[in-house]
Structure 1
Amino acid sequence: MGSISSYKPQLVTLDSDTPLEEIVNAIKRDGGCIVRNLISVQSLAKVKAEAQAALDADVPTTGTFFPQETRRTYSLINASPTFSTDIVTNKTIVDIAKSFVTSTHSYWSGKRRTAVSDPQVSATGALVLGPGSKPQDFHRDDHVWHQGPRKAVTEYADGRDAQLSVLIAATKATEENGATRIIPKSHLWDDEREPKWEDGVAFAEMEPGSGFFFLGSTYHAGGENTTKDEFRHLYAIGYIRGYLRQEENQYLAVDQEVAKKLPHEVQDIMGYSVSAPFCGWVKYDQPYKMLRGETLGPRDLY
């Protein structure tokens, strides 16, 4: 892992009512930032209660990516209705995601057309880091989609990333109990440079209800929990470009009987909608019609 650098950069922390442009610019500059006061204490309590059974059923992994002391639940939309309505589709969160992973494409098909593909949820989960948990290796989230090859740049360019990741603090996250580690500005690196402690590591320390937003190209890692009795709870969401395959297949991970009862905006962001112009259709029609018992096309998806 290398020796810990004495240089410890700080992540920018902004309030949820900060203008969207300022939040987006902070992420573009540093690769990530913290936004305070996103989710209410009441909503966090509901999510925790709804997800507890799934967390209790989790068993340690046999691999090394998640420490043995970590408990997690995937498919958090399936476990917690409140997570889907109060967090996944939270307006501030979605607006930030749209700023990075909305795709606009113009093309000819009889006439000049423009298609706007909105973000979709790639994966969700609850991550509970227990005492004694060791740190993860630094990694980028977007290797799932074979991103690259990327060249090193000095300034961020729109369209460079395929994913925006969000971690919501359900409990206080501190350096001592395993706050996520990030190497600021590593989103500007090429694909060959190895992430090291000497590059300067910041800690995403947060109060409950805050969110840590970071790009798929930003090197980060789960922290080390050196406490004796503190458990760090985070809720994770990955938003990806609408035309990409999801990391966690939402159509199978969330039971259809659960999906049918979700608000239409939650169904859409899970991927039960066509990514314009026509990626993800069923019988050349909108897949959400299957959930709603409506007659499927075919129809003109333009």
Structure 2
Amino acid sequence: MASFLQHARRVAYDTRKADHAPVRQIRRVSRTAPLSLFIEVLEADGCVIVKDFTDEATLAKADHEVRPHLEQQGEGAKVGALQGKTRTVTRLIGKSATVREKFFADPLYQDLCEHFLSLETTHWYGDKPLTTTSHPLLSISITFDIPPGTPAQGLHRDDKNHHARHSHAESYQKGRDILLGLFVPACDTTKANGATRVVPGSHLWGDEIPNFGKDGKRGVVDAELRMGEAFIMLGSLYHGGGAYEEPLGVPKEGTRESRTVHAMFSCTGVHRQEEVSFLSYPIEEVKTYSKIVQERLGWKQSEPNLGWVDLKSPEFLLAD
């Protein structure tokens, strides 16, 4: 046990840089292709662009539902990788029926969630084998509205929120990931307006310091998307929002110029408490509990970015 823990610490804090070679571009696959092709591409590259995922009429309907929530905000959130410029719509599933039923509930995305995130385990109940399945959960749904003047994010893995650990692999093994993300842009996303930068193949890397070259561009490509397309990626893939440095002069009528993207991540179903404490204990009662009990029930954010409510640590809801 001691040697295992020592190895885990070395993996978590290894200061070496891996000599990762540049890899392929992001592949575009028609949504009419068989599920097996999407699985093959995601296992090989860690990401895929879905052609004809939706249409402009559906995107316009989603925008109509989301836009009022964006316009209520003066400034964006200053938390995590957000630097106060990006406006957000949290609890998105409850605020846009179109995002909920047309994007998140899309059969292709949900089938991919089942493939990559569902867990099936056989264990013993006495002398009888029992096989059970844990299905995926929504982890977060949020709209990002990113204006000119927004700098690039550092390249990162989103499963850092779950403190995930990774070992180098030559090929993908099912069960390696705990997150699968879906990004649906409300406009064309290009390098000029900060399209997400991704490193195809990096989902197979270990936890050593990644080597993106002296200019930070080695193996990095821009996930440029046309309206109607979607981007799906594994949570272990290195990525980061690109720089949106200057206005392009293409704002929608009556709105500020921005790059708007609807994002949803699903996680493995075991990443939750055995007892659903938020449904089990009324908030008015929780307010009377000691601070340590409140925290152990989940009323405190897990660093770096897990357990948010509207991008804030949830104990603010306990304040009188």
Shared fold per TM-score greater than 0.5: yes
Measured in 2, the distance between the counterparts of 1:193 and 1:242 equals 29
Match of residue 225 from structure 2 = 206
Supply the AA of the counterpart residue of 1:238: F
Whether the aligned pair in 1 keeps the contact of 2:77 and 2:87 (CA below 8 Å) is: no
**What are the within-5 Å matches in structure 2 for residues 1-302 of structure 1?**
9-58=24-73, 59-63=75-79, 65-109=81-125, 111-148=128-165, 150-194=166-210, 196=212, 197-228=216-247, 229-230=249-250, 231-245=258-272
CA RMSD, Structure 1 to Structure 2 (Å): 2.1
Instruction: Count residues in correspondence.
Output: 242
SS, match of residue 49 in structure 1:
helix
Measured in 1, the distance between the counterparts of 2:50 and 2:91 equals 24
Deviation at 1:154, TM superposition (A): 1.4
SS, match of residue 11 in structure 1:
coil
Residues 14-71 of structure 1, C-alpha deviation per residue, up to 9 Å, x if partnerless?
Answer: 1101111111111111111111111232221111111112212233233461243311
Mind listing any 5+ residue stretches in structure 2 that lack a counterpart? 1-21, 251-257, 280-320
SS, match of residue 95 in structure 1:
helix
Match of residue 298 from structure 2 = none
Pick closer, same or farther for the CA change 1:198–1:42 going to 2, 3 Å.
closer
Mind listing any 5+ residue stretches in structure 1 that lack a counterpart? 1-6, 253-302
Pick closer, same or farther for the CA change 1:186–1:8 going to 2, 3 Å.
closer
Whether the aligned pair in 1 keeps the contact of 2:202 and 2:238 (CA below 8 Å) is: yes
Measured in 2, the distance between the counterparts of 1:235 and 1:213 equals 12
TM-score (norm 1): 0.75
Measured in 2, the distance between the counterparts of 1:195 and 1:47 equals 39
Deviation at 1:152, TM superposition (A): 1.1
TM-score (norm 2): 0.71
Whether the aligned pair in 1 keeps the contact of 2:77 and 2:85 (CA below 8 Å) is: no
Whether the aligned pair in 2 keeps the contact of 1:161 and 1:215 (CA below 8 Å) is: yes
Supply the AA of the counterpart residue of 1:152: H
Deviation at 1:97, TM superposition (A): 1.6
Q: What percentage of residue pairs aligned between the two structures are identical?
A: 30
Measured in 2, the distance between the counterparts of 1:43 and 1:198 equals 35
Measured in 2, the distance between the counterparts of 1:8 and 1:177 equals 24
Higher-Rg structure is 2
